Amino acid sequence: MRIALCQPDIPQNAGTILRLGACFGVSVDLIGPMGFVVTDKRLRRAGMDYLDLADMHQFPSFGAYQAQVQSRMVLLTTKAEATAHEFLFQADDVLVLGSESSGAPTEVHAAVDSEIRLPMRPGARSLNVALAAAMTLGEALRQTAGLPLRPPVDLSRS
């Protein structure tokens, strides 16, 4: 499983997603052009010391990324019909997210294998990209048995 941020423009969200990836052992790909540099202090503040654990890769463009990725690409978009909870994830999927300000470019929509959305109540437009990444990654890892879980423990009080 991987997360790909296509043209991210808010460093705090990218830092949060890098921290998410570090905590769950998921690589994060940053695809340019980006609205910040990876040394941005806002990205570092959001990622905290988890950035040292993050498996991050940078690509100058979506074309360069697409030439290297071999896994199925699944785009999170508010325009999709299917929800993340209806979708059947595979362990090597790439979860693709567009920029916070404009979403994914047309070329990304045309290139991905599937598009999914998170279910929201009527009238709600979208979630923060880091929240959407976390919710979708959690569901994808749950489905593919990729969560770093300990054996179940009986926590009931008898």
Query: What does the block give as tokens for 23?
Result: 């905590």
CA distance 81 to 77: 9
The answer to which of 39-48, 102-111, 118-127 has the lowest mean pLDDT is 39-48
Spans of all domains in the chain: 2-143
Residue 57 token pair: 């890769």
Of 37-51, 108-122, 131-145, the least confident? 37-51
Nearest-angstrom CA–CA distance, 49 and 53: 8
Q: Which of 94, 73, 71, 75 is nearest to 84 (CA)?
A: 75
Task: Give the confidence band of 70 by pLDDT, cuts at 50, 70, 90.
Answer: very high
CATH topology of domain 2-143: Alpha/beta knot (3.40.1280)
Query: pLDDT value at position 63?
Result: 96
Q: How confident is the model at residue 158 (pLDDT cuts 50, 70, 90)?
A: low
Cis peptide leading into 8, omega within 30 of 0?
Answer: no
Write down the pLDDT at residue 148.
Answer: 76
Confidence of residue 147 (pLDDT cuts 50, 70, 90): confident
Across the chain, what does the average pLDDT equal?
Answer: 92
